[in-house]
Amino acid sequence: MTLATITDRLRAAERNAGRAPGSVTLIAVSKVQPPERVEAVLDQGQRVFGENRVQEAQGRWPAFQARFAGISLHLIGPLQTNKARAAVEMFDAIHTVDRLKLATTLARLADERGQSPDLFVQVNTGAEPQKAGVLPDGVDALVTEVRGLGLPLVGLMCIPPAEAAPAPHFRMLAEMAARNGLTGLSMGMSDDFETAVACGATHIRVGSAIFGSRVG
Ligand SMILES: *Cc1c(COP(=O)(O)O)cnc(C)c1O
């Protein structure tokens, strides 16, 4: 598939859901993809990208940013506190805030720098032991804490369990966001982004459907 195909499918999904065209942000997930594939997608005009490791992003994005204006980078993988400084220097948005300790570190960095990336709280909607994210019953408390730190919290993010039907997870996330007065919903990947858009996604994270399967 190509970027154009995915963009067309996204526009159709927006239309079918009664959403305004362009209201959903397409994050092209470039993790592990060879640089020539990333460059091809940049050449086609895409400017919003997702990476799941700080170090990988640091390794390649500065060179692309020197050549292409207007790039926006989103961190979609787990963030260790000791990588927080590098993350806030590199990323325009962080989708994986899932504990108070990390939020406290991000708040300290925001005070120091006078700015912060947009933040999403990651929710482990399937309560999977191996998965990052705050458990559903801890979401409201963490949202309150993150707001209390003065951080720019824009929404919630989830990755449904691989074997589960995604829609109930997307609806759960939308309900949690609504009751907390949050408008951002980062949900939907290559296999389920149309379902996510129907459930209210504002940010979809699509990797292999744009770039091809990950080689690494
Ligand atoms: C890799 C990844 C994606 C993209 O997955 P695809 O199935 O390739 O679209 C989206 N979100 C997160 C958090 C990821 O780690």
What the chain holds in terms of domains, given with CATH numbers, is 3-211 (3.20.20.10)
* C-alpha of residue 32 to centroid of ligand 1, in Å: 11
3-state secondary structure 134-187: ECHHHHHHHHHHHHHCCCCEEEEEECCCCCCCCHHHHHHHHHHHHHCCCCEEEC
Question: Residue 39 contacts by C-beta under 8 Å, 6 or more apart in sequence?
Answer: 64
pLDDT at 186: 99
> Residue 179 phi/psi, 5° resolution?
-70, -15
* C-alpha of residue 68 to centroid of ligand 1, in Å: 23
C-beta of 88 in contact with ligand 1 (< 6 A): no
Task: Give per-10-residue mean pLDDT for the chain (216 aa).
Answer: 93 97 97 96 98 97 98 98 98 98 98 98 98 98 98 98 97 98 98 98 97 79
Best of 52, 173, 191 to mutate for ligand 1, by most ligand atoms within 8 A of CB?
52
Distance CA 60, CA 82 (A): 20
Q: CB–CB of 197/19 below 8 Å?
A: yes
pLDDT at 215: 67
C-beta of 74 in contact with ligand 1 (< 6 A): no
Which atom of ligand 1 is nearest the CA belonging to 29? 4
Distance CA 27, CA 109 (A): 25
* C-alpha of residue 189 to centroid of ligand 1, in Å: 6
C-beta of 205 in contact with ligand 1 (< 6 A): yes
175-190: buried (b, 16+ CB within 10 Å) or exposed (e) per residue?
ebbeebebebbbbbbb
C-beta of 190 in contact with ligand 1 (< 6 A): yes
Which atom of ligand 1 is nearest the CA belonging to 211? 8
* C-alpha of residue 148 to centroid of ligand 1, in Å: 30
Residue nearest to atom 13 of ligand 1 (CA): 76
The token pair that represents 139 in the structure block: 């979401």
Residue nearest to atom 12 of ligand 1 (CA): 76
- Strand-pairing partners, residue 157, are 122, 186
Which atom of ligand 1 is nearest the CA belonging to 214? 8
